[in-house]
Homo-oligomer: A and B are copies of this chain.
């Protein structure tokens, strides 16, 4: 087990009716900017519940934060924060709204020239305007971590930021929201959380036995509840396990003391930036090819995964490892998620070299858990996923 330092101060309020407790978590003198996305919260009743719970506060609203939160739109919200003297942010939405709110939390206190520096400077953010979240879409885990990914259409970029100053003060997770989520987003959420675990698990054995078992626990639970969620999202028992699994998949716990890969995300982000493919689906496109390309360095963990998650007990390490990749593809297919780039766009023939060039331009030469994956490796992996 590697050395680690871990702190996660976010308070979780989980379960039915927790939105009613919102005002207990926000300081009395708060002037709140309520941030949300395309307006689904107005249809599913969450908006009304939140407004009712905030009736004692001064609240300004900023809606319209899109999936893959867009820099130019967030700059408009930043202007509202400054002009209206906002001192508390409340994200009501999924990972995009929460990530956008994290960017705003940092940007509101940023002293430098351009807030875009927060995305490019590669420095942890230690201070942000306080914020909370009401999660409406289990998937990204953003509700209990300090990271964010922001998109800039103008330059077709999708970059990450974060740091210890960007944990939500609190997050409200009411599994009843799951029943109003469209099938496509449910499948995306399951795939996203599943791949988050894989990025922290599918590396090489380091003797971190407990972390391995925790990671496997999340994978097993997602596999177990996925059919129920897709069949009947109003199944509260399944929805609550789905929601808590998504949070635990990326709140920092399972990454402690183990190597992380994250190359699947780096390649996937490019596919979203280039073609607008849903984030989760880009992960399902890239992951199987990534594991095949890096088979030798990942085969021990792939075999352990095949055994413990998919009950593949016969065969050599290589045979089990191979079966593990196939089972992963089958699982994504069972969710209605396609795993080939050509199933999403006809314009794929140059994608490998485009991704390679973008990585090179950014100076990214050592991705993956061994920090050895080059842009030309990424090119080949993306090509394998056509």
Q: Does A9 have its Cβ within 8 Å of any Cβ on chain B?
A: yes
Q: Does A241 have its Cβ within 8 Å of any Cβ on chain B?
A: yes
A12 touches B4 (CB 8 A): yes
A5 touches B9 (CB 8 A): no
- Contact partner of A8 among B8, B209, B211, B220, CB < 8 A? B8
A5 touches B11 (CB 8 A): yes
A257 touches B14 (CB 8 A): yes
Q: Could you say which of A15-23, A115-123, A324-332 contacts chain B?
A: A15-23
> With contacts A3-B16, A9-B9, A14-B3 known, is A221 near B210, CB below 8 A?
yes
- List the number of copies, as a whole number: 2
Q: Which residue of B lies closest to A219 (CB)?
A: B213
Q: Does A256 have its Cβ within 8 Å of any Cβ on chain B?
A: yes
A14 touches B7 (CB 8 A): no
Shortest distance between the CB of A110 and any CB in chain B (Å): 25
Q: Mark A238-254, 1 if CB is under 8 A from B, else 0.
A: 00110011001000010
Q: For the complex, give the distance between the alpha carbons of A312 and B207 in Å.
A: 26
> With contacts A241-B210, A257-B244 known, is A7 near B11, CB below 8 A?
yes
Which residues of chain B are near A12, meaning CB under 8 Å? 4-7, 256
Which residues of chain B are near A213, meaning CB under 8 Å? 216-218, 220-221
Q: Does A362 have its Cβ within 8 Å of any Cβ on chain B?
A: no
Q: Which residue of B lies closest to A167 (CB)?
A: B9
Q: Which residue of B lies closest to A215 (CB)?
A: B217
Q: For the complex, give the distance between the alpha carbons of A248 and B241 in Å.
A: 20
Q: Does A214 have its Cβ within 8 Å of any Cβ on chain B?
A: yes
Q: For the complex, give the distance between the alpha carbons of A45 and B264 in Å.
A: 44
Shortest distance between the CB of A68 and any CB in chain B (Å): 28
B3 touches A17 (CB 8 A): yes
**Of A7, A213, A224, most B-chain CB atoms within 10 Å:** A213
Which residues of chain B are near A56, meaning CB under 8 Å? none
Shortest distance between the CB of A206 and any CB in chain B (Å): 9
B210 touches A1 (CB 8 A): no
Q: Does A13 have its Cβ within 8 Å of any Cβ on chain B?
A: yes
> With contacts A1-B240, A8-B8, A241-B1 known, is A14 near B256, CB below 8 A?
yes
Q: For the complex, give the distance between the alpha carbons of A216 and B207 in Å.
A: 18
> With contacts A14-B256, A217-B214, A257-B14 known, is A209 near B241, CB below 8 A?
yes
Q: For the complex, give the distance between the alpha carbons of A207 and B175 in Å.
A: 14
- Contact partner of A248 among B9, B13, B210, B224, CB < 8 A? B210
Tell me the chain A residues, 347-385 only, with Cβ under 8 Å from chain B.
none
A221 touches B244 (CB 8 A): no
A208 touches B241 (CB 8 A): yes
Q: Mark A185-221, 1 if CB is under 8 A from B, else 0.
A: 0000000000000000000000111110110111011
Q: Which residue of B lies closest to A1 (CB)?
A: B240
Which residues of chain B are near A3, meaning CB under 8 Å? 14-18
Q: Does A2 have its Cβ within 8 Å of any Cβ on chain B?
A: yes
- Interface of A toward B, CB cutoff 8 Å: 1-18, 175, 207-211, 213-214, 216-218, 220-221, 224-225, 237, 240-241, 244-245, 248, 253, 256-257
Query: What 4 pairs between A and B have smallest CB-CB spacing?
Result: A3-B15, A213-B217, A7-B11, A207-B237
Q: Given contacts A2-B15, A210-B245, A214-B214, could you give 7 more A-B pairs where the C-beta distance is less than 8 Å?
A: A1-B14, A1-B240, A3-B15, A5-B12, A7-B11, A14-B257, A244-B257
